[in-house]
Structure 1
Amino acid sequence: MPRDTMAGIDYTQTSRRPAWAALPAPVRDRISSELRAPVDLVEPAGGGFTNGFAAVVSGGTQRLFVKAVPATDASIFAAYVREAEVLRALPTGLPVPLLHSADLVLAGGIQWQLLCFEAVDGRMPGQPWTVTDLSAVHQSLLTVQSGLRRLPPGLSGSSMVDEFFGAGSPAGVIDCWGRDGGLPSYLPPLTGQRMSELKALTLLGREALAGDSVLHNDLRADNIIIRHPRGHPGEPAAVFCDWNFLSTGPAWADWVALLVYPRHAGVDVDPWLTESPLSADAHPDHIDSWLAVLAALMVTSGAQPELPTSPLLRAHQRFTARILIEWISERRLWEP
């Protein structure tokens, strides 16, 4: 029986984005130029947790998926600039939406990063997760892992070990399981012994997350499109979006982080772990370590102030923390 896979969160409606009319005229004009026609239909993207403009726009006989953000929104602007850089360098033939153009547009003295993609006709997986969708994602991830080996040097991002244990690592992640006051009430109850095990698993991440495989590093349902069938048997069914956070680490890290959601939806993910070429050789303790590091990150992030521009982000983080701890408890045979 599928469980509460979304925990009250509709992942197709998590974003709060600017309206088309809020874009400055030079940005709208550049989009019309890319379409070669005036924009006559705008379909805002509902998924994701950022507040940049994102929508499918139509004009004449053309459709594009468009993202735009001003330089005044420093973090999102940098992410869009980075995405353009990565997409230009990715090998051809990967299951990635085609980038038509990436422009800096000056409007009112402010630079805007504009990205125009092919509009992929499809849907978000995980509504709920099914074995069919998971199989499509797995096949595309195998292709992506192979293709990323050919990424030019210098574009692979920082290592996962540095991200979580280096000088700029998220505050509180390493000592998450040793804080005064215990754990938040939304997590399953844990004894002092289990907390100590979680801390040890988290610290094991320095070893577990070492690796030189290039990873997408943000593979969630809202960054995946399952194509609507169009009678093209050679076309990948799952397409991966949002290439902002490349990192290096073990080849199985993206796959394991994604599996937490299908597992919670009632899919038996154990065979997918033990039989997939991505994770078959991964040490079980290393997998548990990655789950513990992720859980610590989500607990720490979920305790931050709510964001008006992304009102469901903290709820998503707390939900993810809970189901990660549930999976660790199951894998390590912890008694309820």
Structure 2
Amino acid sequence: MTPTSPPPVPYHATARRPEWATLPAALRTAIGDRLGAPVVEARVAGAGFTRGFAAVLRTAAGGRAFVKAAATAEQPRLVDWYAREAAILDRLPAGLPAPRPRWTLHEAGWFALCLDAVDGHTPRLPWDPAELTATLTGYADIAAALAGAPSGLRELGLPHLADLAHDDILWWGEVAAGREPAPPLPAPLRDRLPELVALESRLPAYAAGATGLIHGDLRLDNVLIDGAGRAWFCDWTWLCQGPPWFDLVTLLLTAYADGLDADALFARHPASAGAPPDALDASLAALSGYFLTTAASTPGTASPHLPAHQRWSGEQSLDWLARRQGWT
């Protein structure tokens, strides 16, 4: 397989976040109080696509924690997302490679979520083979643990991927109906809209039968590799009911972009067991339309690097699909 282009900005450097010193003094004091000592160092996270505060904090007593925070008036959606993530993390099965929550607080018009700090780094591209193996192995453990949809998580009333697909992911049908402008497409693919619509339309039915839970936003920048080489999975806001092979597709987009045999990686991963024969194609069709279309309407509250990354992700999805379908 021939490598394609790298992402426009490295995933570990996509964020645009406030510095610790710019947070309200009352919030900084309250966070230090909850941590048991004043904060003396803040290492702001470089990965991610929101403008919320996120940093590993070190206290005068030597303690460490990861804290996210957002202003309730200016960033209400982020506040909702952080609160939802706190509830999800609190109910995840013990032992999973996911940060554990400590506390939340409201102070000075801000909401803060504190998690155990993971001493790790975002995987770099091109993928290091050991880090890719660790990530795929770690996700296999997560998929197995969530296959039965633990009761504590079910009580949160999580959405279903089949419904999310209808409401937010399937865009080629909107383009075909003239309700959404067509994104730029390579010349060989401009006449493939009927096939794209047909493929993406299969995703809801394929997802509808899933009884387990999936991460819902499994990208490289939501993974950390610790000093022992273990993969940890972060940002659990979008946990939903769905098939684990969908998470696997979103994760493997970067492997495809590296020129790796993403088809084989998908086929031999435990998360793809029992997937319909064209589940990968249906997912790629849906993801390509979603990323390419939404890249044109990114909210101002997001990182300025988000549109370019959405376009790049859409291009990788479409290129992977076109190769599998013989369209190029």
Q: Given the two structures, how large is their TM-score scaled by the length of structure 2?
A: 0.90
Structure 1 counterpart of 2:326, one-letter code: L
Q: Is the 8 A contact 1:177 1:296 kept in 2?
A: no
- Aligned positions of 1:241-320 closer than 5 A: 241-304=234-297, 307=300, 309-320=302-313
Structure 1 counterpart of 2:224, one-letter code: I
Shift of 1:63: 1.4
Partner of 1:130: 128
Q: Is the 8 A contact 2:170 2:289 kept in 1?
A: no
* TM-aligned CA distance change 1:195 to 1:88, over 3 Å: same
Q: Is the 8 A contact 2:51 2:301 kept in 1?
A: no
Partner of 1:69: 70
Q: Are residue 162 (structure 1) and residue 160 (structure 2) matched?
A: no
Structure 1 counterpart of 2:243, one-letter code: P
Residues in 2 aligned to 1:240 and 1:169: alpha-carbon distance in whole angstroms: 24
1:56-91 CA distance string (max 9 Å, x none)? 111131111111112211110100010111111111
Q: Which has the higher helix share?
A: 2
Q: Which runs of 5+ in 1 are unaligned?
A: 230-235
Q: Given the two structures, how large is their TM-score scaled by the length of structure 1?
A: 0.88
The structure 2 residue matched to 1:143, chosen from 137, 141, 144, is 141
Q: Is the 8 A contact 2:169 2:286 kept in 1?
A: no
Residues in 2 aligned to 1:309 and 1:296: alpha-carbon distance in whole angstroms: 20
* SS, match of residue 54 in structure 1: strand
Query: C-alpha root-mean-square deviation of aligned residues, in Å?
Result: 2.2
1:222-262 CA distance string (max 9 Å, x none)? 11101122xxxxxx700001110111112211011111111
Partner of 1:102: 104
* TM-aligned CA distance change 1:183 to 1:330, over 3 Å: same
Structure 1 counterpart of 2:249, one-letter code: V
Shift of 1:327: 0.4
1:144-186 CA distance string (max 9 Å, x none)? 1222232422236111111121xx436845323554998433x
Structure 1 counterpart of 2:12, one-letter code: T
* Matched residue count: 321
Shift of 1:4: 2.5
Partner of 2:55: 55
Partner of 1:121: 119
Residues in 2 aligned to 1:189 and 1:157: alpha-carbon distance in whole angstroms: 40
The structure 2 residue matched to 1:205, chosen from 197, 203, 206, is 203
Structure 2 counterpart of 1:203, one-letter code: S
Q: Which runs of 5+ in 2 are unaligned?
A: none
* SS, match of residue 312 in structure 2: helix
* TM-aligned CA distance change 1:56 to 1:182, over 3 Å: closer
* SS, match of residue 115 in structure 2: strand
Structure 2 counterpart of 1:325, one-letter code: L
Residues in 2 aligned to 1:316 and 1:57: alpha-carbon distance in whole angstroms: 28
Q: Is the 8 A contact 1:253 1:290 kept in 2?
A: yes
Partner of 1:233: none
